[in-house]
Amino acid sequence: MDEGLDLSSLRQITGGDKALEAELFAVFNESTSECLVSLRVAFDREDDAGWRDAAHALKGASGSMGAMMLHDVCREAQNAFKTEREAKQSLLHAIEVELERVQALLKALA
pLDDT band at residue 1 under the 50/70/90 scheme: very low
pLDDT digits (tens, 9 = 90+) for 67-92: 999 999 999 999 999 999 999 999 99
pLDDT at position 2 is 55
Q: Where are the domains of the chain?
A: 8-109
Enter the DSSP assignment of 72: H
**Ramachandran angles phi, psi of 3, nearest 5°:** 50, 55
The DSSP code sequence of 15-30 is TT-HHHHHHHHHHHHH
Counting every residue, how long is the chain? 110
Residue 76 exposure: Cα atoms within 13 Å on the Cβ side: 15
From residue 101, how far is each of 24, 97, 105, 107 by CA, in Å? 17, 6, 6, 10
Q: For domain 8-109, is the CATH number 1.20.120.160? A: yes
